[in-house]
């Protein structure tokens, strides 16, 4: 059995490992090839002139990977703010949109919206790295919550998010819609 070392640390490595199997890793250069000998169920470099090999028990590696997965899920980006005398923490993925309401912004979170004393411009800048885009002078949306975009005869767009709520995308901000999808397919594109 041959296993190719991943080109980068975050690559998904898929091999059928049995309990007690050992995995080897080399701490430099990529593209090393490993082979397993049936009698000792151990993966060895095909070229023995390679750098020193670190042996890791496969069961321990799988346990550590599961723990890292749990930690990654717990560390999802969150927003913290004061509400009713305490500090609330919300996952950013659960916020559908942020709307301006006077000197406040309303975080459109299901089931309850929350009012935070901050300007929409400031909030938009803070949320931009987390996948939020401005679509109106008073609205910022979470791009992962957008389900549909409808062009309107006025040159504006209607945008629908999870849960059915609709927002107007004004002509000033319609260029931000290109950030909604990593890939556009078909002949229909956003009208410039």
Given a contact cutoff of 8 angstroms between Cβ atoms, the answer to whether 106 and 99 are in contact is yes
What mean pLDDT is predicted for residues 118-124? Answer: 94
List the structure tokens of 159: 């945008």
Higher pLDDT, 99 or 71: 99
What's the CATH number of domain 78-180, 2.60.40.10, 2.40.50.1020, 2.160.10.10, 3.30.450.20?
2.40.50.1020
Higher pLDDT, 159 or 74: 159
What is the tally of helices (H) and strands (E) in the chain?
A: 2, 15
Task: Please write the tens of the pLDDT for every residue from 17-50.
Answer: 555 555 555 444 445 555 555 555 555 555 555 5
Assign 119 a pLDDT band (cuts: 50, 70, 90). Answer: very high
pLDDT of residue 87 exceeding 70: yes
pLDDT of residue 129 exceeding 70: yes
Separation between Cα atoms, residue 23 and residue 56, nearest integer Å: 5
Higher pLDDT, 40 or 90: 90
Domain edges within the chain: 2-74, 78-180
Q: Kindly report the CA angle at 104 between 84 and 180, in degrees rounded to 5?
A: 110
Strands (E) located in the chain = 2-4, 22-26, 33-37, 42-45, 53-57, 78-83, 86-91, 95-101, 104-109, 114-116, 132-136, 139-142, 146-151, 157-161, 166-169
Assign 63 a pLDDT band (cuts: 50, 70, 90). Answer: confident
Q: What is the pTM of this model?
A: 0.58
For the ranges 12-16, 144-148, 188-192, the lowest mean pLDDT is seen at: 12-16
Assign 75 a pLDDT band (cuts: 50, 70, 90). Answer: low
pLDDT of residue 135 exceeding 80: yes
């Amino acid at each position: 059995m041959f296993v190719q070392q991943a080109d980068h640390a975050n690559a998904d490595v898929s091999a059928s490992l049995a309990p007690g199997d050992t995995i080897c890793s080399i701490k430099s250069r990529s593209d090393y090839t490993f082979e397993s000998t049936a009698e000792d169920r151990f993966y060895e470099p095909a070229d023995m002139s390679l750098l020193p090999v670190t042996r890791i028990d496969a069961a321990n590696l799988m346990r550590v990977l599961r723990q890292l997965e749990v930690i990654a899920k717990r560390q999802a980006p969150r927003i913290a703010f004061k509400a009713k005398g305490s500090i609330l923490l919300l996952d950013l993925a659960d916020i559908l949109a942020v709307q301006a309401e006077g000197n406040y912004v309303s975080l459109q979170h299901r089931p309850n919206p929350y009012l935070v004393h901050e300007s929409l411009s400031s909030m938009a800048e803070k949320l931009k790295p987390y996948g939020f885009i401005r679509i109106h002078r008073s609205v910022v949306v979470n791009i992962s919550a957008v389900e549909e975009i409808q062009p309107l005869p006025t040159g504006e767009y209607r945008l629908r998010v999870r849960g059915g709520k609709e927002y107007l995308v004004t002509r000033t901000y319609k260029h931000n819609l290109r950030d909604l999808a990593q890939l556009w397919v078909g002949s229909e594109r956003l009208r410039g």
